[in-house]
């Protein structure tokens, strides 16, 4: 996400002009005095097509999709700034450290932050808090016989997030008001629009919009907004794409089995006819549409079948997605030799310090935002649920001082 998956990209992302362990930043533009991501050097740059006057390229980050929407660009920018903030503070604590030591230690801390935020704060809301406690449970240590690699089916299942996207990019002022003329931009006109970050107020309004605007609720009669259907990337292609169709075609390209095969894998019932599928989906009309299209539940594409299931109590997914998520995230944690809680990765004092981190604090430390959502992944309406940054615990880096 932040550092790339290949050595060559990781090196490109680093600031090689000094020995401070920093990530590279944009040398042409700033965001109210704060760093922006550097620009990429793509031969065919889609971002240049979204505003031919502005001529703003796509950003360079650890994930090639960082410029697909300003929301993604904002999050990538936030964690780039956090890395550089950590590296700078570590340099003050340990002036004897080399640039590479500073880079690696800051990277290690950012990695732990992502793990903590994902497992402690995000997944319990997706799976339901009681189920997450039961199925993921506390960390018991590294298991060398656990395969932590990403399952092919997970790359489809985790695209459930597409059902949570609102049809607009919301950008709010310091009082969380939609006061600017461009505060509500259709999603279809924000794809690859890096110029909107550079020339329309930076990342602060975007992050406020994310904190104060609830995610879309997945419903069986409204799975994806129209901005993602037939309008995807329409500014950079001759014709808009359909994200739902792409998701289903991806599973076919990868040769993934259909809906019932994964229900069987998870120990769930495998509906065979209209009556049984109606009971699983709790929706006879939807079940009839599926069978008219697919003939048999066995043939239903995994993505559409999984997101069509009714949500579990207190969760944002149905039983099949919950099973696939639990399997993946449990293996990713238990089979990780560098998991942040594993003995020897961090000291006891460092682990105690890391438990205080939050995404809200990262926003406070790296933007001009002074009032944030206390529980950032829950739906909040300003000012309820929002607090001053002075009330959000900080990460105490004194545990990283070398005597």
Residue-wise pLDDT tens digits, 343-390: 999 999 999 999 999 999 999 999 999 999 999 999 888 999 999 999
Report yes or no on 26 lying in a domain: yes
Report the pLDDT value the prediction gives residue 380, as an integer from 0 to 100: 85
Cα dihedral 23, 28, 34, 36 sign: negative
**51: containing domain:** 7-142+336-400
Report the pLDDT value the prediction gives residue 237, as an integer from 0 to 100: 86
Report yes or no on 301 lying in a domain: no
Report the pLDDT value the prediction gives residue 176, as an integer from 0 to 100: 96
Report yes or no on 124 lying in a domain: yes
Residues (pLDDT < 50) of the chain are none
Cα dihedral 102, 107, 112, 114 sign: positive
Report yes or no on 96 lying in a domain: yes
Report yes or no on 293 lying in a domain: no
Report yes or no on 249 lying in a domain: no
Report the pLDDT value the prediction gives residue 5, as an integer from 0 to 100: 94
Q: How far apart, in whole angstroms, are the C-alpha atoms of residue 292 and residue 289?
A: 5
Instruction: State yes or no: 162 annotated in a binding site.
Output: yes
CATH of the domain at 35: 1.10.640.10
User: Is 232 within 8 Å of 191 (Cβ atoms)?
Assistant: yes
> Total structural domains in the chain?
1
Q: How far is CA 389 from the centre of its chain?
A: 23
User: Backbone phi, then psi, for 233, in 5-degree steps?
Assistant: 60, 25
Report the pLDDT value the prediction gives residue 181, as an integer from 0 to 100: 84
Report the pLDDT value the prediction gives residue 382, as an integer from 0 to 100: 93
Report yes or no on 35 lying in a domain: yes
Report yes or no on 347 lying in a domain: yes
User: Is 47 within 8 Å of 192 (Cβ atoms)?
Assistant: yes
For the record, the structure tokens of 175 come out as 């009082």
Instruction: Calculate Rg over the CA atoms of the chain.
Output: 22
Cα dihedral 304, 376, 324, 187 sign: positive
User: Is 232 within 8 Å of 89 (Cβ atoms)?
Assistant: no
For the record, the structure tokens of 376 come out as 């950032």
User: Longest Cα pair distance anywhere in the chain, in angstroms?
Assistant: 70
Q: How many helices (H) and strands (E) does the chain have?
A: 16, 4
DSSP assigned state of 387: E
Query: pTM for this one?
Result: 0.96
Q: Which residues pair with 14 in a beta bridge?
A: 23
Q: How far apart, in whole angstroms, are the C-alpha atoms of residue 362 and residue 126?
A: 22
Q: How many angstroms separate the Cα of 149 from the Cα of each of 2, 113, 120, 216, 254?
A: 19, 20, 21, 30, 16
Q: How far apart, in whole angstroms, are the C-alpha atoms of residue 281 and residue 311?
A: 10
Q: How many angstroms separate the Cα of 141 from the Cα of each of 57, 107, 132, 237, 257?
A: 44, 22, 18, 48, 33
Q: Distance between terminal CA atoms of the chain?
A: 33
């Amino acid at each position: 996400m932040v550092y790339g998956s290949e050595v060559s990209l990781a090196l490109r992302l680093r600031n090689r002009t000094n020995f401070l362990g920093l990530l590279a930043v944009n040398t042409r533009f700033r965001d109210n005095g704060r760093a922006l991501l550097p620009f990429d050097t793509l031969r065919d740059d889609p971002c240049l097509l979204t505003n031919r006057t502005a001529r703003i390229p796509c950003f360079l980050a650890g994930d090639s999709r960082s410029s697909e929407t300003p929301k993604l660009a904002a999050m990538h920018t936030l964690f780039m700034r956090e890395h550089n903030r950590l590296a700078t503070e570590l340099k003050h604590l340990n002036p004897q450290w080399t640039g590479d030591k500073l880079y690696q230690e800051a990277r290690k801390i950012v990695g732990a932050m992502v793990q903590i935020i994902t497992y402690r704060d995000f997944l319990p809301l997706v799976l339901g808090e009681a189920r997450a406690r039961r199925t993921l449970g506390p960390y018991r240590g590294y298991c060398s016989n656990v395969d932590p690699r990403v399952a092919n089916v997970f790359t489809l299942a985790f695209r459930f997030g597409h059902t949570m996207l609102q049809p607009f990019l919301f950008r709010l002022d310091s009082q969380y008001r939609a006061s600017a003329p461009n505060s509500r931009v259709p999603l279809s006109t924000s794809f690859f629009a890096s110029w909107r970050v550079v020339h329309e107020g930076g990342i602060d309004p975007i992050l406020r919009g994310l904190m104060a605007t609830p995610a879309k609720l997945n419903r069986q009669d409204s799975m994806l907004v129209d901005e993602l259907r037939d309008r995807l990337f329409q500014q950079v292609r001759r014709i808009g794409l359909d994200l739902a169709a792409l998701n289903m075609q991806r599973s076919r390209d990868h040769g993934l089995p259909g809906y019932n095969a994964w229900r069987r894998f998870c120990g769930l019932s495998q509906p065979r006819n209209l009556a049984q599928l109606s009971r699983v989906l709790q929706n006879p009309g939807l079940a009839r549409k599926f069978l008219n299209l697919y003939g048999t539940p066995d043939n239903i594409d995994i993505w559409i079948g999984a997101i069509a299931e009714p949500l579990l109590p207190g969760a944002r997914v149905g039983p099949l997605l919950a099973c696939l998520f639990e399997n993946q995230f449990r293996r990713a944690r238990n089979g990780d030799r560098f998991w942040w809680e594993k003995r020897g990765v961090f000291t006891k004092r460092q682990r105690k310090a890391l438990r205080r981190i939050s995404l809200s604090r990262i926003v406070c430390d790296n933007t001009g935002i002074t009032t944030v959502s206390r529980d950032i992944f829950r739906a909040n309406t300003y000012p309820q649920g929002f607090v001053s940054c002075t009330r959000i615990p900080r990460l105490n880096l004194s545990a990283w001082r070398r005597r």
